């Protein structure tokens, strides 16, 4: 496939182009939304000036690519290779750059406001003039090689449990990446908008808990009890929910892309707008195409 064929197929309604090889392609100034380019190869490609919200570049190879002055707000760039990429003036606001390789990338004047840079590598990157209001830094390798954690938002499991035991219950917008809360019982806690990516939450009890817009990407939730929890807008991309119980939960607009739901109970759950893509359903059946529940 070349760039022209991709654009034609996109115009015809196709959205999933996972794994496509378009190295050195020239696709400049194009507009679109929601294309899936997971694990695609755009090494050395010229994508300057494109406007595409919610684009999925997770795991993609964009090394040495030119994305100068692109507008890819809300993009999924998790685990993407952006080493040596030209990102001058790029709008990366509210993107997921967790585990991304940004070594020696040029981010001069880029907007990374409210983006997630958990476990990202920025070694040698040019960060001159970047806009970074609300950006999440957790175990982030900065351009000088130092490791940075947001001192007000990153906490360990022991600290969370200590504060919870002392009576604190609201932990909004904290970064709990890779935290181990397996088998914990946390009634009454609120983790709204927290980052729980890669967390061990196996057999945790979070019944009737506020988990709205929580990032559960790649988290282990096997056997977890989320009965009647508020999961509005939560992201379970690539999460393991085998034998979990979300009965009665509000799952409106939840993202279950790549999640494993084998054996999961979701009776009486609110499922409006739930996104499925490469999702293993409770009965073991794979939903490979994009589907939204109603």
Quickly state the pLDDT bin for 1 (edges 50, 70, 90): confident
Question: φ, ψ for residue 154 (rounded to 5)?
Answer: -90, 120
Which residues does residue 154 pair with via DSSP β-bridges, in sequence order? 175
Tell me, what's the pLDDT at 191? 97
**Domain total in the chain:** 2
Please state, as a whole number, how many other Cβ atoms lie within 10 Å of the Cβ of residue 13. Answer: 6
Tell me how far apart the alpha carbons of residues 66 and 222 are, in angstroms, rounded to a whole number.
41
- Are 126 and 12 contained in the same domain? yes
Q: pLDDT at position 152, please?
A: 85
Taking Cα atoms as reference points, which of 190, 193, 184, 284 lies closest to residue 241? 284
**pLDDT, averaged across the chain:** 95
Q: Which of 126, 149, 172 is the last residue of a domain?
A: 149
The predicted-structure confidence for 270-285, as pLDDT tens digits, reads as follows: 999 999 999 999 999 9
My answer on whether 177 and 247 are in the same domain is: yes
Domain that holds residue 94: 1-149
Distance between CA atoms of 170 and 102, rounded to whole angstroms? 34
* pLDDT tens-digit map of 231-252: 999 999 999 999 999 999 999 9
* 108 and 34 in a common domain: yes
| For range 83-91, the mean pLDDT | 98
Q: Measuring CA to CA, which residue among 193, 196, 197, 152 is closest to residue 172?
A: 193
Digit-coded pLDDT (tens) for 153-191? 899 999 999 999 999 999 998 999 899 999 999 999 999
137 shares its domain with 166: no
- Reply yes or no on whether the pLDDT at 289 is more than 90: no
Distance in angstroms (rounded) separating the CA atoms of residues 266 and 277? 18
Confidence band for 33, pLDDT divided at 50, 70 and 90: confident
Q: Tell me the C-alpha distance between 57 and 190, whole Å.
A: 31
Looking at the structure, tell me whether residues 188 and 169 fall in a common domain: yes
The position carrying tokens 């990153």 is 154
**What is the model's pTM?**
0.85
User: Of 93, 127, 149, which residue constitutes the final position of a domain?
Assistant: 149
> Which of 124, 149, 174 is the C-terminal boundary of a domain?
149
Instruction: Find the mean pLDDT for residues 86-93.
Output: 98
pLDDT for 151 equals 87
Closest by alpha carbon to 67, among 84, 143, 134?
84
Q: Do 94 and 128 belong together in one domain?
A: yes
CATH number at residue 260: 2.160.20
pLDDT at 286: 96
Task: Assess whether 157 and 281 both reside in one domain.
Answer: yes
Q: Looking at the structure, do residues 1 and 114 belong to the same domain, yes or no?
A: yes
Query: What's the pLDDT at 149?
Result: 93
Question: Are 124 and 156 members of one domain?
Answer: no
State residue 81's pLDDT score.
Answer: 99
Residue 284: its pLDDT value, please? 96
- With bands split at pLDDT 50, 70 and 90, how would you rate the model's confidence at 97? very high
Same domain, 126 and 2: yes
pLDDT over 90 (residue 83): yes
Same domain, 74 and 138: yes
Do β-strands 31-33 and 51-53 pair in parallel, antiparallel, or remain unpaired?
Answer: parallel
**What confidence score (pLDDT) does residue 280 get?**
98
Lowest mean pLDDT among 1-10, 73-82, 212-221, 279-288: 1-10
Q: Domain holding 113: CATH number? A: 2.160.20.80
CB of 46 closer than 8 Å to CB of 66? yes
Model confidence at 67: pLDDT above 90: yes
In the prediction, which pLDDT does 220 show? 99
| pLDDT tens digits, one per residue of 107-133 | 999 999 999 999 999 999 999 999 999
> Are 167 and 206 found together in one domain?
yes
Nearest to 46 by CA among 86, 19, 10: 86
């Amino acid at each position: 496939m070349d760039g022209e064929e991709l654009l034609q197929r996109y115009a015809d309604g196709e959205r999933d182009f996972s794994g496509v090889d378009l190295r050195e392609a020239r696709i400049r100034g194009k507009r679109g939304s929601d294309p899936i380019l997971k694990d695609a190869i755009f090494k050395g490609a010229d994508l300057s000036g494109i406007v595409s919200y919610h684009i999925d570049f997770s795991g993609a190879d964009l090394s040495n690519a030119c994305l100068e002055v692109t507008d890819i707000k809300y993009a999924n760039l998790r685990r993407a290779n952006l080493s040596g990429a030209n990102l001058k003036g790029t709008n990366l606001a509210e993107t997921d750059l967790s585990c991304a390789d940004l070594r020696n990338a040029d981010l001069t004047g880029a907007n990374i406001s409210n983006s997630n840079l958990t476990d990202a590598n920025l070694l040698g990157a040019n960060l001159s003039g970047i806009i970074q209001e609300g950006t999440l830094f957790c175990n982030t390798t900065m351009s000088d090689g130092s490791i940075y954690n947001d001192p007000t938002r990153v906490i360990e499991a022991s600290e969370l449990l200590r504060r919870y035991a002392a009576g604190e219950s609201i932990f909004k917008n904290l970064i709990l990446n890779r935290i181990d809360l397996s088998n914990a019982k946390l009634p009454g806690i609120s983790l709204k908008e927290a980052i729980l990516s890669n967390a061990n939450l196996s057999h945790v009890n979070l019944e009737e808990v506020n988990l709205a817009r929580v990032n559960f990407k790649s988290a282990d939730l096997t056997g977890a009890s989320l009965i009647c929890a508020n999961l509005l807008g939560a992201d379970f991309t690539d999460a393991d929910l085998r034998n979990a119980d979300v009965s009665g939960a509000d799952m409106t607009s939840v993202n279950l892309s790549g999640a494993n739901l084998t054996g999961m109970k979701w009776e009486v759950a609110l499922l409006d707008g739930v996104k499925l893509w490469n999702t293993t359903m409770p009965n073991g059946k794979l939903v490979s195409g994009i589907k939204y529940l109603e």
